[in-house]
Amino acid sequence: MRLTCVLLGAALAVSGCVAEPGPMAPQAGANSGFAPSPGQQATPPAAEGAARVGLLVPLTGAYAGAGDALKKAAQLALSGPDAPALDVQDTTSTGAGAAAAARAALAAGDRLIIGPLTSTETAAVAPIARAAAVPVLAFTSDSSQAQPGIWVLGLTPTQQVDRLMRQAAEAGKSNIAALLPENELGQDMGAALAAAASRDGLPPPRVRTYGAGMQAITQAVQAISDYATRRGPIDQQIEQAKRTDDRAALKAAIAASHQPLPPLSYNALLLADTGTPLAELATLLPYYDVSGVQIMGPALWAAPANRNGAGALLAGAWYAGFDPAARGPFVTAYTARFGTAPPLIADFAFDAASIAHVTLDDTTESLTASLTRPGGFTGANGAMLLLPDGRTRRALGVFQIDQGNTTMIAPPPPSLTPSS
């Protein structure tokens, strides 16, 4: 049965196109759950035998602030009178705490687990949940945690790179290079780039990585710019003319240095850094004549603070992310209920609880089949699809940075298919 579920229900007047909040209303006549109207009371006690959802969140420890927002978002999604009971378990912001919380949820009879928050917590919960055949909808963005029965709901580097690659292909940019930091984000984006190029039959991307410090970044930029072959001969000509005191040769060499260099071997360049390293790249790339290519980067660039100091480097740059305009109904409902706007991480708890509501309410197929229905789900951040291997496909838009502002140049697709 092919169903598409809308995360934000009619009570919030949402027709769909974002990934986060509320119970999902399936289209084709299945039982539906709806997000609460502003001011609606908390979930009433579940009837005896009602389905239970385990929520694993850090209510204490390092991530307690995020945990409170996650709990509130899940409560908002499950506020309807027919919603499953929400069983909140504290992970204490640790792997050991998450494992204990998962065991408590299973002992309580929870049929589906939403959360935990971090990659470490998810890794601790996964074997426990899989042994009990209880699905997990985790909030982490670490795609390495995805496996059958354990879904990663966070916005992953793979999702971002896939969307950017599709946009680059539409723009005729098929030769891609990458200049990436030697950290987890850089590694994930590099792996996603290589996989996308192979899938699409494109030339293998040219990837250069760098460690911490200006010297490491400079060496990487020199290599990715082909400076030695593009500019080196001219510099050598100038030095030779200086040594021989050949003024005519020097004049010719200087004139040559002002001519356009041979083009780069790629027409798009993927970056993954923010902050000071990005500002250093903004200085080094033009110095080493890396220009005329499409700059692409992470969704972190949506926050102006993450691109401070990058200046002209990011003029016209792209990143892939959610359409912020579509998030309004969830923000309105959350704010009305709790008196403050939700942080972005709350979106994933709202989505997960909404999926739990509609899938546990679906008696026409198994829970796993309902979770991986080909039509997927649609929530506050757009279409989303849970794949059998634990990956989540999300509908993302592409944004362009111009003079410090961002403009969506390609909207998210309204729906997804397993092969899209």
**Domain residue spans of the chain:** 5-155+324-395, 157-226+264-321, 227-262
Return the amino acid letter for 239.
Answer: E
* pLDDT score of 136: 98
Nearest alpha-carbon partner for 289 in 269, 264, 268, 314: 264
Query: Do the domains spanning 5-155+324-395 and 157-226+264-321 agree at the CATH topology level?
Result: yes
- Residues contacting 71, CB < 8 A, separation 6+: 55, 57, 59, 88, 349
* CA–CA dist 146, 45 (Å, integer): 33
Q: Tokens at residue 268, please?
A: 């798009």
pLDDT tens for residues 90-119?
999 999 999 999 999 999 999 999 999 999
pLDDT in tens, 201-250: 888 999 999 999 999 999 999 999 987 776 666 666 666 656 566 666 66
CA–CA distance, 116 with 95 (Å, rounded to integer)? 10
pLDDT surpasses 80 at 392: yes
Angle at which helices 346-360 and 64-77 cross, to 10°? 40
Q: What is the dihedral of CA 55, 87, 80, 337, to 10 degrees?
A: -70
User: Cα torsion at 156, 371, 64, 128 (round to 10°)?
Assistant: -100
Select the more confidently predicted residue: 162 or 312. 162
Q: Which residue has the tokens 């119970």?
A: 23
Nearest-angstrom CA–CA distance, 308 and 305: 5
Q: With CA atoms as reference, report the closest residue to 22 among 86, 76, 83, 59.
A: 76
What pLDDT band is residue 294 in, cutting at 50, 70 and 90? very high
Q: Compute CA 164 distance to the chain's CA centroid, rounded to the nearest angstrom.
A: 12
- What average pLDDT does this structure show over 390-413? 93
How far apart, in Å, do the first and last CA atoms of the chain sit? 19
**For the ranges 201-205, 351-355, 406-410, which has the lowest average pLDDT?**
201-205
Given this model, what pLDDT does residue 237 score? 62
Q: Pick the range with the lowest mean pLDDT from 74-78, 120-124, 172-176, 231-235.
A: 231-235
Mean pLDDT of 56-76: 96
User: pLDDT band for position 32 (50/70/90)?
Assistant: very low
CA 317 to mean position of chain CA atoms: 17
Predicted pLDDT of residue 255: 61
In angstroms, the CA 355 to CA 77 distance is 9
Whether residue 21 contacts residue 73, with contact meaning beta carbons closer than 8 Å, is answered with yes
φ, ψ for residue 139 (rounded to 5)? Answer: -95, -5
- What confidence score (pLDDT) does residue 58 get? 98
CATH architecture of 5-155+324-395: 3-Layer(aba) Sandwich (3.40)
Residue 148: the pLDDT is 97
Residue 160, token pair as written in the block: 């971002």
Average pLDDT over residues 364-369: 88
CATH hierarchy code of domain 157-226+264-321: 3.40.50.2300
Cα distances (Å, whole numbers) of residue 100 to 133, 152, 327: 17, 20, 34
Residue 49 has pLDDT above 60, yes or no: no
Rounded CA-CA distance 393/386 in Å is 6
User: One-letter amino acid identity for 276?
Assistant: T
**Contact 391/397 with Cβ under 8 angstroms?**
no
pLDDT > 70 fraction of the chain, expressed in percent and rounded:
80
Residue 363 pLDDT grade (very low, low, confident, very high; cuts 50, 70, 90) = confident
